[in-house]
Chains A and B, each alone.
Chain A
Amino acid sequence: MGATLRALRALVLLLGFYLLSLVLLAVLVGVDVVAFRWGHGPAMLKLGFVTVLLAVPVVQGMFMLRTPKGEDGPGIDVTEAAEPRLWALVREVAAAAGTRAPDRIRLTGEVNAAVSEDPRLLGLLPGPRRLYLGVPLLTGLTEARLRAVLAHEYGHFTGGDTRLSALVVRGRVQLGRVIEQFHERADGKVAAERAKQEQARARRVARGKKAKQVDTSGSGATYRMMAAVYTQYAKLYLRASLSTARGQEFAADQVAARIAGRDTMAATLREIPVLSVSHGFYLDSYATLGLGARLLPPRGEFFGGFGALLAARAEELEGLRARLPEEPASPYDSHPPIAERVRRIEALPADGRADEATGPALALLTDPARTLAALEDAVLTDEVVRYGRAPGWPELLNASMASGLSTAQTPLHQALAARTGQPATLAALLEVVDAGGLWQLAEQLPLSAEAKSARGRAFREFARPVLRRSLRTMVLAEFSARSLLSWDFSWSEPAAVRLPGALPAAADGDGRSSQESPHESSEKSLEAALDAALADHPDTTALRALLPSAPQPA
């Protein structure tokens, strides 16, 4: 298919979007006309109301193609005066790519860089350009690699792409945007959110202001319906334009390789999926660690800690870099698989330019610490920004774990509360165990189908790991409530609990215990005591001996 035909097809497909919307509106009007002619009474009014409800998103969809103002993701705009070096780099790369530099730069909290234009005349004329630059990218990429990222983005707009194939790109981006908007309104996010725990909800809110106000008032179904219609159309559109789109990604990669150097571009392509995965992990396990306890890391560290994580886990990341995704993220993804892109770049003839390993691109900023702090204010919700600040990461970990333990609701808590009708406490649990009720209680745990259908020893073996995890949490909570616990913070390892050092040795303590650290022997005593308390014939003596001022059996 020639370039002209491709362009024509793109235009037809884009116009088809409007046609689809008009047809949908016509159908709705037709329904109303029929209803008003033959119908009467409240039923007719209700039908009219429903059609109006359905029409709203359609009309909105038609106008959504104009990127709504103020729909930028959260971030901070940086002026040329404030960040001269960043701007200079951006302009230099744009010049090298032979395209117009952006008019605004916005720093965001995502592992992503993007160039956008505010389209005019249904996306046929270019408008002001913006560059979105994720600060985690600045943290994880060297300056040279950042140039490669920028050059790739600009590659989409260089003379290599004809004006009308830019239309394809724009149409795809905008269609994606419409569907995304529909889904954002319609998604069961609200329902899912309600079901999730307070902590999980707080995390999502903290990620961005976007997901905050979700409409639940019954219009979700209509939105979903419209989204389905448009999704079908988008699939058609994407299938038709996909090969072009992927070709353009390759072309943009070539531009980037020319500007930034082959090796740098290849290294950048390898690095981005790694950064993306690591940042997700960082947000889940570190940055949002204290949200349940309404606590944030020290100011500037919400995004700033990412650098420390990358440094500490360098070895682990090396393994990730070796395994590139071979599959596209989805059949409709406009980007070809990273592995394929890397192969094509590495197949280019050597240009004699090495992947210069300079410091992180974050150093381009005038005052990185100040920018990181400002980004927090912009990206976190107002509610979260008002949370307390831990003085350091270890303190954040300790406070979060203490708070988590004090509010923990294990399956055992639930089973015990259901049995006794009282709030579950460790003392109450030990009483039930001493009265011989452990295995009866275990039957009330939420267990898998296999465990439920098991009998005798098999049942006990299925239930024991669940019991053990729960009981361990309950015991740790007891220690924590008396401030006897601390946690070891590490950027490279999961947090490890540190038990009080002076726990009495386990009843069957062996001779080696004298050579162990007090911490290790405490750990051993606890494990042995848990084992005894959850044996086929439970014995809580050892566990009671470990507990601080444990309640004695009556």
Chain B
Amino acid sequence: MTVLLWILAALALPLVIAALWFTGVFVKELFSPSPPGPDATALAAERLGLLPAERQDTEHAAPPPAAWSAALTAARSGDWAPAAELLRAGGRDWERRSTLTAELGTLAAEEDGWLLAWEAARPDDPDAAVVRAQSTVRLAWDLRGARQARYTSREQFEGFGRMLSAAREEIARAAELNPEDPTPYVVEIWVALGLGCSHAEMDELWERITSRDPYHYGAHYAALQYWCAKWRGSKELAFDFARRAAERAPVGSLLTVLPLIARFEHDETTDVAADSTPEMLALVDAGLADAAACAASDPDRPGLAQLRHLLAYYLHLQDRHEAALEQFRLVDGHVDALPWNYRGEDAAAYYCRVRNETVRMAAEAV
């Protein structure tokens, strides 16, 4: 009997040791997971000079001009003069003016001491006025947060509504001080979207914008959001708006991105075949031609990077990996763009996953 027990014990011992070891590993992994080893595709991407997720800039879609970065840094430390000079010198380049205003407005939505100083020094400066309006709208969206309505508290909605209403007066003032500038009205689209203004009001606002700048990229981007089903329009209205704008615009104006955005915003299928229909192939081809024309005439144009990001995404989905990789290489390093930035914190990781997959498929195809 005793012998039998000894034999059993001898047999059980390795089992117990193994169980302990597994438990130990499990607990260790649970509390401090070891970093996943760099997989082959990531290494391949790195060999191509593409950056890992942690080195991707999630604040911009493309590298901002050095002068802009300098002006923002100066403003952050309280010196508004470089920003004021940049906006003044920009003149009637509305596209860039709107983009720079958005950057400055975002900064002023955090702290606006520098902007107050600017306003105090130059009371009727139209540039300060437009940044003021933009910053209040930006602050409204900061208060609301980016989550869906049902995850947004009443307090957040109240702050959102209060700020948007306050912004209306500031927008009117900015428009009055610089009547030709579409930027205040572009800002107003985000107010109309947030407050749920009627389609008639939106049409009126749109008329003001297009009479000042018919192919303004930022305005079209914002207006398309308004017409999306999740905001104040519907899938049909959004598709219709995007198609008409893209058809009307000359090649190189980047508005071919609109049908792609409309499609992305209303994409509910998981079926990849839907992305490779002749119609989708044609939309992507038009986008490629548009991007090439824009790159030839004005490679730093705001909006070009966003178009390329979406092109890369859809080219990947269409199994056109070689072409996708080309777009990825042109935008790599800055990922604050659709489709990635809808993933919030995971934007860079998501971008890298799709890009690395593209690298792998492209290498296999060769």
Contacts and interface: CB of A to CB of B under 8 A. Distances in A.
Interface in B140-166: 142-143, 145, 153, 155-156, 158-159, 162-163
Interface stretch (A83-91, A158-166, A419-427, A447-455): A447-455
Interface string B103-135: 000000111100000000000000000000000
A70 interface: no
Interface string B161-186: 01100000000000000000000000
B143 A458 contact: yes
Contacts of A455: 110
B210 to A, nearest CB: 32
B110 A456 contact: yes
B110 A457 contact: yes
A18 interface: no
A456 B145 CA distance: 15
A17 interface: no
Contacts of A465: 155, 158-159
Contacts of B143: 454, 458, 461-462
Given A450-B153, A451-B155, A456-B110, 16 more contacts: A448-B155, A450-B145, A454-B142, A454-B143, A457-B109, A457-B111, A457-B112, A457-B139, A458-B142, A461-B143, A461-B159, A461-B162, A462-B155, A462-B159, A465-B155, A536-B112
B159 A456 contact: no
A332 to B, nearest CB: 29
Interface in A457-479: 457-458, 461-462, 465
A436 to B, nearest CB: 14
Instruction: Say what secondary structure dominates the interface of chain B.
Output: helix
Contacts of B163: 461
Contacts of A536: 112
Contacts, number: 36
Contacts of A450: 145, 153, 155-156
B119 to A, nearest CB: 13
A458 B141 CA distance: 10
A1 B252 CA distance: 77
Contacts of B153: 448, 450
Nearest to B142: A458
Nearest to B135: A457
B104 to A, nearest CB: 14
Contacts of A458: 109-110, 139, 142-143
30 contacts: A448-B153, A448-B155, A450-B145, A450-B155, A450-B156, A451-B155, A454-B142, A454-B143, A455-B110, A456-B109, A456-B111, A457-B109, A457-B110, A457-B139, A458-B109, A458-B110, A458-B139, A458-B142, A458-B143, A461-B139, A461-B143, A461-B159, A461-B162, A461-B163, A462-B143, A462-B155, A465-B155, A465-B158, A465-B159, A536-B112
Nearest to A453: B145
A448 B157 CA distance: 13
Nearest to B144: A450
A528 to B, nearest CB: 16
Interface residues of B, number: 15
A456 B162 CA distance: 17
A94 B150 CA distance: 52
Nearest to B111: A456
Contacts of B155: 448, 450-451, 462, 465
B271 to A, nearest CB: 37
Nearest to B141: A458
Nearest to A462: B159
Interface string B78-111: 0000000000000000000000000000000111
Q: Which 3 A-B pairs have the closest CB atoms?
A: A456-B110, A456-B111, A458-B142
Contacts of B159: 461-462, 465
A450 B139 CA distance: 14
A307 B112 CA distance: 55
Interface in B225-272: none
B254 to A, nearest CB: 32
Contacts of B111: 456-457
B117 to A, nearest CB: 12
Contacts of B156: 450
Contacts of B145: 450
A456 B109 CA distance: 8
B230 to A, nearest CB: 21
Contacts of B139: 457-458, 461
B358 to A, nearest CB: 36
A486 B51 CA distance: 69
Nearest to B112: A457
Interface string A179-196: 000000000000000000
Q: Which one of A450, A455, A465, A536 has the highest number of Cβ atoms from chain B below 10 Å of its Cβ? A: A450
Nearest to B156: A450
Nearest to B166: A461
A536 B116 CA distance: 11
A448 B139 CA distance: 18
Q: Which one of A454, A456, A462, A465 has the highest number of Cβ atoms from chain B below 10 Å of its Cβ? A: A456
B351 to A, nearest CB: 26
A461 B145 CA distance: 13
A451 B159 CA distance: 11
Nearest to B113: A536
Interface in A362-404: none
Contacts of B142: 454, 457-458
A264 B153 CA distance: 44
A331 B145 CA distance: 37
A527 to B, nearest CB: 14
A536 B156 CA distance: 19
A465 B154 CA distance: 13
A458 to B, nearest CB: 5
Contacts of A454: 142-143
A554 B158 CA distance: 38
Nearest to A447: B155
Nearest to B109: A457
Nearest to A455: B110
B133 to A, nearest CB: 14
Contacts of A456: 109-111
A256 to B, nearest CB: 43
Nearest to B136: A457
Q: Which one of A454, A455, A456, A461 has the highest number of Cβ atoms from chain B below 10 Å of its Cβ? A: A461
B118 to A, nearest CB: 15
B9 to A, nearest CB: 34
Q: Which one of A448, A458, A465 has the highest number of Cβ atoms from chain B below 10 Å of its Cβ? A: A458
Contacts of B109: 456-458
A456 B111 CA distance: 6
A536 B110 CA distance: 13
A454 B159 CA distance: 12
A455 B112 CA distance: 12
Contacts of B162: 461
A461 B140 CA distance: 9
A111 to B, nearest CB: 30
A469 to B, nearest CB: 12
Interface in A273-289: none
A455 B107 CA distance: 12
A465 B158 CA distance: 10
A208 to B, nearest CB: 33
B141 to A, nearest CB: 10
Interface in A400-428: none
Q: Which one of A450, A451, A457, A462 has the highest number of Cβ atoms from chain B below 10 Å of its Cβ? A: A457
A465 B112 CA distance: 20
A457 to B, nearest CB: 5
A461 B111 CA distance: 12
Interface in B200-237: none
B154 to A, nearest CB: 10
A455 B143 CA distance: 10
A403 to B, nearest CB: 29
